[in-house]
Structure 1
């Protein structure tokens, strides 16, 4: 049971980190595009 909880927690953190990287990438990309047109 403890192993499952640790694995679940690690997987959740992994997904959050991937989402954070994607959000930063899109923010940088579209933020630069928006600044050019504003």
Structure 2
């Protein structure tokens, strides 16, 4: 969907996707920690 639109500059797209994925992973880890504290 969005990925297919962004595909031509593939290296830029993949680096952005990796960045977004790492941010989401960090948020998920923080949320897990919060849930454990509760």
- TM-score tier by shorter-chain length is 0.7 to 0.9
**Aligned with 1:5 (options 4, 7, 10):** 10
**2:19 aligns to what?**
14
RMSD of aligned residue pairs (Cα, Å):
0.9
Instruction: Give aligned pairs, total.
Output: 31
> TM-score, normalization: structure 1?
0.74
The higher relative CO (CA closer than 8 Å, separation ≥ 6) is in: 2
Indicate whether 1:26 and 2:31 are aligned: yes
Between Structure 1 and Structure 2, the one with more helix by share is: 1
Distance across 1 between alignment mates of 2:27 and 2:37:
15
